[in-house]
């Protein structure tokens, strides 16, 4: 059964969503992310993906107080990403309640630092963020396209011990046009033991069903929930 991981994206302490990572498309859904997290928990959700969009833009962690508040007032298992660039940022994330962190830009720009953290904290706490556009890895809040192609990038890091990967198809993110199931099936065919988290494009319950039928272990989604295209009642079948 696929694991459901709703996303809360934070700008200025508020719950927002973007389209294709474009900050100019920002739409505020709730002024209080804790309310959103509590509603998820009340409906049986166990995991939460929090993205510090201010942090991703600033290159250092910003919205850690939101993380601390959600971690302190719910029992959700939280993975946190956005702006984690230094040992201090990583310590702040863990000290404020993140059980796991998702790291993308560091893995591209500072591979030695990423590997140090991987071995220091363990592969269960470090999720490799693979944000993909035109089969290439994008970084820095999706503002830069890196030189690496997806499969070689994943191969290098699985050989280092990575087994949790959050892969986002940027072209689909926030567009409600359906997920890149072919891409995720390709990844799972190459790395059958990977704990792959699919992200980007989920528009309706049928998208999650199709991901589940394709054998994808987990899915991150947000906009479809906030726009009412998927209800918490719809998701009970997966809990």
Rounded to whole angstroms, the Cα distance separating 53 from 7 reads: 12
**What is the rounded distance in angstroms from the CA atom of residue 177 to the CA atom of residue 191?**
26
How many Å apart are CA 41 and CA 214, to the nearest integer? 26
Dihedral sign of CA atoms 194, 159, 165, 95 in order:
positive
Alpha helix locations (H) across 43-84? 53-58, 64-73
Phi and psi of 78, rounded to 5°? -110, 130
Q: Is 22 a catalytic residue?
A: no
Alpha-carbon separation of residue 103 from 113, 162, 183, 231 (angstroms): 11, 11, 20, 29
Q: Which of 9, 54, 79, 89 is catalytic?
A: 9
DSSP 231: -
**Token pair in block for residue 66:** 């939101």
Q: Which of 54, 79, 131, 173 is catalytic?
A: 131
Q: Is 130 helix (H, G, I), strand (E, B) or coil?
A: strand
Catalytic (active site) residue 131: yes
Catalytic residues: 9, 131
């Amino acid at each position: 059964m696929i694991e459901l991981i709703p996303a809360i994206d934070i700008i200025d302490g508020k719950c927002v969503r973007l389209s294709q990572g474009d900050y100019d498309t920002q739409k505020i859904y709730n002024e209080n992310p804790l309310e959103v997290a509590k509603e998820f928990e009340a409906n049986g959700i166990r995991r939460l993906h929090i993205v510090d969009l201010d942090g991703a833009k600033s290159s250092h962690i910003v919205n850690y107080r939101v993380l601390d508040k959600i971690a302190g007032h719910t029992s959700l298992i939280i993975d946190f990403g956005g702006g984690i660039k230094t040992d201090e940022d990583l310590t702040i994330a863990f000290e404020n309640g993140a059980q796991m962190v998702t790291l993308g830009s560091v893995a591209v720009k500072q591979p030695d630092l990423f590997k140090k953290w991987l071995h220091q904290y363990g592969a269960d706490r470090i999720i490799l963020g693979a944000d993909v556009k035109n089969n290439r890895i994008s970084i820095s809040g999706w503002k830069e396209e890196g030189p690496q192609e997806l499969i070689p990038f994943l191969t290098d890091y699985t050989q280092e011990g990575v087994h949790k990967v959050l892969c986002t198809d940027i072209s689909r993110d926030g567009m409600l046009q359906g997920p890149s199931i072919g891409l995720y099936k390709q990844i799972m065919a190459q790395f059958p033991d990977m704990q792959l988290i699919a992200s980007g494009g989920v528009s309706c319950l049928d998208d999650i069903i199709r991901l589940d039928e394709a054998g994808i272990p987990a899915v991150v989604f947000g906009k479809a929930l906030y726009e009412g295209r998927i209800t918490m009642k719809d998701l009970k079948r997966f809990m």
